[in-house]
Structure 1
Amino acid sequence: MVKDKAIGIIGGMGPHAGLELVRHIFDQTVATTDQDHLPVVMFSYPDRIPDRSIFLFGKSQENPAFAIAEQIRMAESVGVVVAGIPCNTAHAPAIFNVIQEELARCGSRVRVLHLIEEAVRFVREQYPDVKRVGVLSTLAVYRLGLYRSALEAAGYEVVVPDENVQETIVNRTIFDPVYGLKAQSHPVSKIARQSLLTAIAHLRQKGVEAVVLGCTELPLAIPEPELDGLPMIDPALALARALIRETYPEQLKPL
């Protein structure tokens, strides 16, 4: 049977995060032959998408939404009907809402799934007893409270690192030019992984029952689904499953 609904991935934010989302789609699909797998289109033009955090902190007037919307339209031209953006910061309202407005203005029919909303849905469905959720993220997501607002709206108690842990450990783990995940995505540096383990231990001491890895590069360093019984929530996994659910639900693997 010809599959006429393609899944779109707007990558490049960072590049390995887009690749990881595609891998999740393959891994979460019921398939026994090449032909069983789903059509996936990834656009990864990182040089064309301005830095999301710089825009959100007011250090640039160039909204990345327009470049992202343009790439979604490019994906639509080759059959994409549902798309995902493996970048949490791109889901800040100042960016995501403009993407939606721009697509509507152009008459696009692509549905763009919301990474953060899908991550919250994943927690609710897979861990129904969890009430107290920790969040690790970039400084932009931290200060804008993107996960906090979504999780609290769903009834969760949200725990984030102390400000000094967020700035000196978590954010540096992502952006440090020597050992950070942006600089070393594959393989991840030992210091980046150890730094995240320290941050997770910090949240564990605060009594969290699960930790959302709220930057799409963080699961590159912490790929385990749980650490000593503490669930690690990978938003990219949640998004991958949602993309399958919205296109070929009969081929979504059970967890």
Structure 2
Amino acid sequence: MSWVSTRTYYEDINQLVQARTSRLTSAPLLIESLDFTDLVRLSTPEQWGHAAGVLADSARRLEQAGATALLIGANSMHKVFDKVAEAVSVPVIHIADVVGARMKADGITNATLLGSRNVVMESFYRKRLVAHGVTLLPPALGDVDEVDRIIYEELMQGKATRAAERTLKTMLTNMGQQGAQAAVLGCTELDMVIDVDANVLPIYDGTRIHAEAAVDWILG
């Protein structure tokens, strides 16, 4: 939804396609990058109803243009996943389902979830992970507020600061001490300030795993 997220998905999908095929191959993609201005920090049923309509209309346009499967490139917008899926006849790949399946395959049963306030506090994302046998640490409200601020006031504007990196690393350290085996990045921009490959906990980057599911579809 943010341009940063769109860039990340585009890079990840194309790099993964090249890794599995050749350096001259690029992924056949249709992208509709929506204006995120009216879709930020939604709270009322009316606002979420509007968001569902915007995304459903977008999904229909992409299907009509020839898309054979769809991704919603924003964790928070998976709250309206069912409405989007109902609007089209092609599969819509749910980010939390592919993350949960990967964690189950790896034997992860206890994890922490990092993301914007609605992703972490509401059930629409969490219940998908729980369905794959993953128990999630209860959210710490102070951490939720700070991560939400970093996402909206920094990352979505393309800013990655050392202060944010230190804050997230401290949170991950504390969560590991509380028993988390791994951390799920439930925000497409968090990899800007979290080292996915070398951190204090194993990191399940939802964006990368979602992109891998898209590549499986493209090359399958």
| TM-score exceeds 0.5 | yes
Amino acid of the residue matched to residue 39 of structure 1?
A: P
Match of 2:22 in 1: 32
Give CA-to-partner distance per residue, 1:164-192, whole Å, 9 cap, x none.
Answer: 2212x21121123xxx2122x2x512222
- Secondary structure of 2:168 counterpart: helix
Aligned-residue CA RMSD in angstroms?
2.1
Match of 2:103 in 1: 123
**Is residue 2:145 matched to residue 1:156?**
no
**Is residue 2:193 matched to residue 1:221?**
yes
- Secondary structure of 2:184 counterpart: strand
Give CA-to-partner distance per residue, 1:91-116, whole Å, 9 cap, x none.
Answer: 11xx112212333xxxxx32211111
Aligned length: 218
Larger Rg: 1
Counting aligned pairs with the same residue, the percent is 22
- Secondary structure of 1:241 counterpart: helix
Amino acid of the residue matched to residue 28 of structure 1?
A: L
C-alpha distance 25-243 of structure 1, shift in aligned 2 (>3 A): same
Match of 1:71 in 2: 58
C-alpha distance 75-223 of structure 1, shift in aligned 2 (>3 A): farther
Higher strand share: 1
C-alpha distance 61-25 of structure 1, shift in aligned 2 (>3 A): closer
Match of 1:191 in 2: 163
Amino acid of the residue matched to residue 47 of structure 2?
A: S
Quick one: distance in 2 between partners of 1:120 and 1:237?
A: 13
Amino acid of the residue matched to residue 172 of structure 2?
A: I
- Secondary structure of 1:227 counterpart: coil
Match of 1:41 in 2: 30
Amino acid of the residue matched to residue 51 of structure 2?
A: P
Match of 1:166 in 2: 144
Quick one: distance in 1 between partners of 2:13 and 2:75?
A: 18
Aligned-pair distance for 1:44?
0.8
Quick one: distance in 2 between partners of 1:27 and 1:62?
A: 35
Structure 2 alignment gaps of length 5 or more: none
- TM-score w.r.t. the length of structure 1 is 0.77
Give CA-to-partner distance per residue, 1:22-78, whole Å, 9 cap, x none.
Answer: 2111122212242x332112111215x731531x44473652121112222222233
Aligned-pair distance for 1:81?
0.6
Match of 1:88 in 2: 75
C-alpha distance 75-58 of structure 1, shift in aligned 2 (>3 A): closer
- For 1:246, which of 210, 217, 220 is the aligned residue? 217
Amino acid of the residue matched to residue 14 of structure 2?
A: F
**Is residue 2:155 matched to residue 1:181?**
yes
Give CA-to-partner distance per residue, 1:191-243, whole Å, 9 cap, x none.
Answer: 22222222212211212111001111112221422414x21111111111111
Amino acid of the residue matched to residue 93 of structure 2?
A: L
C-alpha distance 62-152 of structure 1, shift in aligned 2 (>3 A): closer
Q: Contact conserved, 1:52 with 1:89, CA < 8 A, in 2?
A: no
Q: Contact conserved, 1:53 with 1:89, CA < 8 A, in 2?
A: no
Quick one: distance in 1 between partners of 2:140 and 2:63?
A: 42
**Is residue 2:86 matched to residue 1:101?**
yes
Quick one: distance in 2 between partners of 1:145 and 1:52?
A: 18
Quick one: distance in 1 between partners of 2:173 and 2:125?
A: 19
Quick one: distance in 1 between partners of 2:149 and 2:170?
A: 13
Quick one: distance in 2 between partners of 1:138 and 1:46?
A: 18
Q: Contact conserved, 2:99 with 2:129, CA < 8 A, in 1?
A: no
C-alpha distance 115-164 of structure 1, shift in aligned 2 (>3 A): same
